[in-house]
Amino acid sequence: MPLKIVILAAGQGKRMHSKLPKVLHTLAGKPLLQWVIDAATDLNPAQTIVIYGHGGEQVRAAFTSVTADAEAVSFGVQATKVPQRQDPSYLEKITWVEQTQQLGTGHALQQAQHYFNDDDQILVLLSDTPLISTTTLRELITDTDKNALGLVTVTLDDPSGLGRIIRDAEDNVVGIIEDKDCNEQQQEIEEINTGIMLLPGKELKHWLGNLTAKNAQGEYYLTDVIANAVADQVPICTIEPTFTEEVMGVNDRSQLAYLERVYQQLAAETLMLSGVSFADPTRFDLRGELDVAQDVFFDINVIVEGKVAIGQGSKIGSNVILKDCVIGENVTINSNVVIEESVISDNCIIGPFARLRPGTQLAGHVKIGNFVETKKAIVGEASKIPHLSYIGDANIGKNVNIGAGTITCNYDGVHKNITTIEEGAFIGSDSQLIAPVTIGAGAYIGAGSTISKNAPAGKLTISRSKQTVIENWKPPKKNE
């Protein structure tokens, strides 16, 4: 029977106190709603419907731009080496349904009911429960009979604020009572509704039709379908999540920060189990996907964003940001380095204090030192850019030495132009290479030169004026 997933994402999220709709707040760099969409997509349903409402335009725009951004990632380097982000086309398969007035979770589901057929199973997910795992959802689907109602519940020491599961003497679920509607005795109940339900399409439509807003919050509660199911003698099956935090909701920023740490701790533990070491696993942040080989070491405060791959034995120093890049084997990245959309081959040494911008591609044994910025720079085997340089739109051969303070002047105010430096060239310190320009193989450029024409291979080219001494010069004096 077809599985249809409805994600409730229209609520305002009052307790966030934010101009940004709650579902766009991020956990590990990804909007809350996207976490839930990703979980839904993994289940490969017949249809995924997102009920949106509060901040609707912002929500729709955010998901359109996620698509655009992902498509825009063209690294300008050998694309085969760089992992591409997830194919964004799954977003096009989502049905967006607007709930113009947010009258409660039951009212939210009513907005999608014309999509439900009698033989569908409807899985309801909440957009503010980002860590829900597909393991738990699959278990719910497997354990719930096709004509039954499935619920994910959990027992908490502090159930305050959540809907309580009411059971009869035989332990059968007979209802859910929202926190604000509980009497004192019901408030003691520790088993709560996670909000995740699997509903039989055949019954759901008339259950939704029966909902009223006669409760403490004056809302149409989805949780009232339970009493309907009991009245219709539809069996109710409950399962527990694999771990408690996956069903915890984000209602305020403190809960969001808590779940962020839960996620980061799990991410670090998973990496350690696969052979990665951390100076301190609590000071590591993964905001994307990391594909990592054994014996990689992370010093403190490393942030990994987007898609990153790191080869065997590489060492990542403190305060490093790696975004959408490939790092080879035995690479040393010293502290305070930022690398984005770049490929770093085996045995390179980078930093400290270097910034490698999109399109940087380093062959093996390259050294990039402190205060060096690169962009669209292809650097050959064993070349060195050790200090204080800007290298942009450059093709550099192997065994090239770039002296301190060298600048590729790649921009003429309108166009970007290429600097080519051939194998074995030596660029003296404080040189400006005005692109388009080529420095021939084995050429030497005298320190302090401004090079605006091609420099021939194997020759010394200097453009600075000769040093002179002004004989009659006197230091200036103050007017008397």
Assess whether 387 carries a catalytic annotation: yes
Residue 105: contacted member of ligand UD1, Ca ion, none (CB under 5 to 8 Å, by partner type): ligand UD1
Residue 9: contacted member of ligand UD1, Ca ion, none (CB under 5 to 8 Å, by partner type): ligand UD1
Candidate segments 122-130, 147-155, 182-190, 401-409, binder of ligand UD1 by CB under 6 A: 122-130
**Sole binder of ligand UD1 in the list 121, 223, 334, 389 (CB under 6 A):** 223
Residue 238: contacted member of ligand UD1, Ca ion, none (CB under 5 to 8 Å, by partner type): none
Candidate segments 61-69, 85-93, 221-229, 280-288, binder of ligand UD1 by CB under 6 A: 221-229
The beta-strand segments (E) located in 91-201 are 94-98, 121-126, 149-155, 164-167, 173-177, 191-200
Residues 219-258, mask of contacts with Ca ion (x by CB under 5 A): ------------------------------x-x-------
Q: Which residue of this chain has its Cβ atom nearest to Ca ion in the complex?
A: 249
Contact 409, 433 (CB under 8 A): yes
- Find the binding residues for ligand UD1 in span 20-39 (CB under 6 A): none
Contact 322, 303 (CB under 8 A): yes
- Name 49's bridge partners: 6, 95
- β-pairing, 149-155 vs 354-356, is unpaired
Cβ burial, residue 292 (10 Å; 0-12/13-18/19+): buried
**Sole binder of ligand UD1 in the list 116, 221, 284, 444 (CB under 6 A):** 221
Angle between helices 32-42 and 56-72 (to 10 degrees): 70
Contact 197, 106 (CB under 8 A): no
The candidate with the shortest Cα–Cα distance to 380, out of 414, 348, 336, is 348
- Interface with ligand UD1 includes 211 (CB under 6 A)? no
CB count within 10 Å of CB 465 equals 7
**Sole binder of Ca ion in the list 120, 128, 224, 340 (CB under 5 A):** 128
Question: Between residues 21 and 359, which has the closer beta carbon with respect to Ca ion?
Answer: 21
Amino acid at 297: F
Q: What 3-state DSSP class applies to 240?
A: coil
- Interface with Ca ion includes 178 (CB under 5 A)? no
Q: Which residues are catalytic?
A: 387
Question: Site residues (CB under 6 A) for ligand UD1?
Answer: 8-11, 51, 99, 102-105, 107-108, 126-128, 162-163, 176, 178, 192-195, 221-223, 249, 251
